[in-house]
Amino acid sequence: MPFTREEFERSGHGLIHKGRWANADVHLFRRGKEDWVVKDFRRCPPITRSVYGSWMVGRELAAMRSLAGIPGFPQDAFRMDRFAFAYRYVPGMEIGQADPRFLTTAFFEELERLVGKMHSRGIAHLDIRAAKNILVTDRGEPLILDFQSNVRLDGLPRFLRDLLVDVDRSGIYKHWARRVPESLGEERAALLDRMNRLRRFWIFKGYLGIRKDAR
């Protein structure tokens, strides 16, 4: 374990995002010369952190470990304790705030390949539509964050597995169509249109990657 809860609490750390009652606080923590992101449910209400928070930590950490070794996903993730986990920090900007010069056809093609690698490891993200979950690193490369909505593809019926894969792909194409629509192509545009029409019938807004504000 690179550091403990005690070290984390004793040293200074910055708040990246303040979670709501059932969401983790996200911190930036420096240990020596290394920067880490810490997702921590400890400040949630007791029942929330003991049941939901502990379960979410294990669930998200398992997805990240399945993707270990693939550049473009958080690396060296570990469980700090029952209520928190951490992974190495990568500097960059959310795709919605990134320098448009980085958002080229090549960038989105790489993002598409990255999502394909994720699917080959048996993970569907299901919240790629959310701009906050795609980071453009300082090197202009994509990094996919936040696996709290992930679903394991292994063992699912073929039709359901294909649907969840298309949910992720349509998330890529949503961002692609906004930035460089001329290179999206007919096949990708048709999938995006099909998934946008299906989303109208999804009643659980805010779950499984389909947010009320994700258009």
- Domain with 190 in it: 92-199
How many helical (H) and strand (E) elements, i.e. helices and strands, does the chain have? 6, 10
| pLDDT, position 17 | 86
Domain assignment of residue 209, yes or no: no
Residue ranges of the chain with per-residue pLDDT less than 70 = 201-215
The residues near 176 (Cβ < 8 Å, ≥ 6 apart) are 108, 183, 184, 188
Task: List, for residues 167-182, the tens digit of each pLDDT value.
Answer: 999 999 999 999 999 9
Asked whether residue 176 falls in the same domain as residue 135, the answer is: yes
Asked whether residue 84 falls in the same domain as residue 179, the answer is: no
| Continuous segment of H or E residues that includes residue 164 | helix 158-179
| pLDDT, position 47 | 87
What are the tokens at 130?
Answer: 């959310």
pTM: 0.88
Strands (DSSP E) along 12-140, which ranges?
Answer: 13-17, 25-31, 34-40, 78-81, 84-88, 92-94, 123-124, 134-137
Domain assignment of residue 214, yes or no: no
Asked whether residue 137 falls in the same domain as residue 180, the answer is: yes
Asked whether residue 115 falls in the same domain as residue 67, the answer is: no
Task: List, for residues 96-136, the tens digit of each pLDDT value.
Answer: 999 999 999 999 999 999 999 999 999 999 999 999 999 99
Asked whether residue 42 falls in the same domain as residue 112, the answer is: no
Asked whether residue 63 falls in the same domain as residue 15, the answer is: yes
Asked whether residue 71 falls in the same domain as residue 163, the answer is: no
Please say whether the beta carbons of 76 and 83 come within 8 A: no
